[in-house]
């Protein structure tokens, strides 16, 4: 099916195109969208490429936050000196997404907006208690991810940046699919002045916080605090790679490893 292709130079131009075309789709890195188009699973009439909008790139540090432009690629996030210094767990996470081809094309904003249940960034956004910045408003992480491929973004709303608080200590551990690099299970553990946050990806239809683990680690930030926690597999994904029960076991093991990594 043919479609019209636009590559606006500014954010207002992109928003204007979105508003004017009901059946339009934004293109960031294209790591999910392009295969979807090839398989005819999506057939937009208008494709709006964000690649030329310079305001969507860059990294800024201010007031205890690191704000990362939505069009920063995974490779750029992994290698940026400010991110590596201030939030090393996020840089390490980004450096282990997919393969070099994916890391050099896929973007932070595109991944977060897509809300893939096996993506890595949602765990970082939720675990680090980040703020999703759009051209219209700011959305806290706890209110952003709603369901598989569903977020709080409204029509014609574009992610411009993600604002990450500088955490006291954090670590991300995942059990990756050996072919795709997607998380069969992934756990981000964060310890900061705001408390303990544990975000889990890859095991359910959407990223979520494991509040029982948070409570246990708040009392004793050590792997031993998680030993007696029985992770329920109810609602967990089941596929050719792992059963719900196996994913539940992975969550516990990965959380303990993440605590160790965050400690040291």
Core vs surface per residue 171-180: b (16+ CB within 10 A) or e: bbbbbbeeee
pLDDT mean over 74-84: 98
What dotted CATH number matches 169-263? 3.30.390.50
From start to end of 168-252, where are the E strands?
A: 169-176, 183-192, 195-201, 208-209
Question: Tokens standing for 164?
Answer: 């990450």
Q: Which pLDDT score, from 0 to 100, does residue 218 have?
A: 98
Checking if the pLDDT of 1 tops 80, the result is no
Give residue limits of the domains in the chain.
1-49, 169-263
Per-residue pLDDT tens for 101-123? Answer: 999 999 999 999 999 999 999 99
Q: Which CATH architecture has domain 1-49?
A: 2-Layer Sandwich (3.30)
Q: How far apart are CA 67 and CA 114, in angstroms?
A: 19
Residue recorded with tokens 């205890």:
64
Q: Grade residue 22 by pLDDT with cuts at 50, 70 and 90.
A: confident
Q: How far apart are CA 69 and CA 72, in angstroms?
A: 6
Residues 6+ apart with CB under 8 A from 110: 28, 29, 30, 31, 32, 33, 70
pTM, entire model: 0.96
Q: Grade residue 203 by pLDDT with cuts at 50, 70 and 90.
A: very high
Q: Which pLDDT score, from 0 to 100, does residue 2 have?
A: 87
Longest distance between any two alpha carbons in the chain, whole Å? 58
Q: What percent of the chain has pLDDT over 90?
A: 93
Q: Which pLDDT score, from 0 to 100, does residue 264 have?
A: 84
């Amino acid at each position: 099916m043919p479609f019209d292709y636009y590559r606006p130079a500014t954010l207002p131009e992109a928003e204007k195109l979105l508003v004017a075309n009901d059946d339009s789709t934004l293109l960031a890195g294209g790591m999910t969208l392009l295969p979807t188009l090839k398989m005819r699973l999506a057939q937009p009439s208008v494709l709006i490429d964000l690649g030329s909008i310079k305001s969507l790139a860059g990294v800024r540090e201010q007031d205890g936050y690191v704000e990362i432009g939505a069009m920063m690629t995974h490779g750029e996030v992994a290698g940026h000196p400010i991110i590596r210094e201030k939030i090393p767990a996020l840089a390490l996470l980004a450096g282990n997404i997919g393969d070099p081809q994916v890391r050099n094309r896929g973007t932070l904003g595109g991944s977060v907006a897509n809300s893939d249940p096996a993506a890595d960034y949602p765990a970082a956004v939720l675990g680090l208690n980040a703020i999703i910045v759009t051209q219209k408003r700011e959305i806290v992480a706890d209110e952003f991810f709603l369901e598989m491929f569903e977020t709080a973004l409204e029509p014609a709303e574009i992610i411009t940046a993600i604002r990450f608080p500088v955490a006291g200590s954090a670590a991300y551990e995942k059990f990756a699919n050996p072919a795709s690099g997607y998380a069969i299970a992934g756990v981000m553990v964060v310890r900061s002045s705001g408390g303990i946050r544990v975000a889990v990806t890859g095991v359910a239809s959407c990223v979520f916080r494991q509040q029982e683990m948070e409570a246990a680690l708040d009392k004793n930030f050590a792997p031993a605090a998680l030993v007696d926690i029985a992770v329920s597999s109810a609602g967990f994904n089941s596929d050719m790679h792992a059963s719900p029960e196996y994913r539940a076991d992975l969550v516990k093991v990965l959380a303990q490893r993440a605590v160790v990594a965050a400690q040291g």
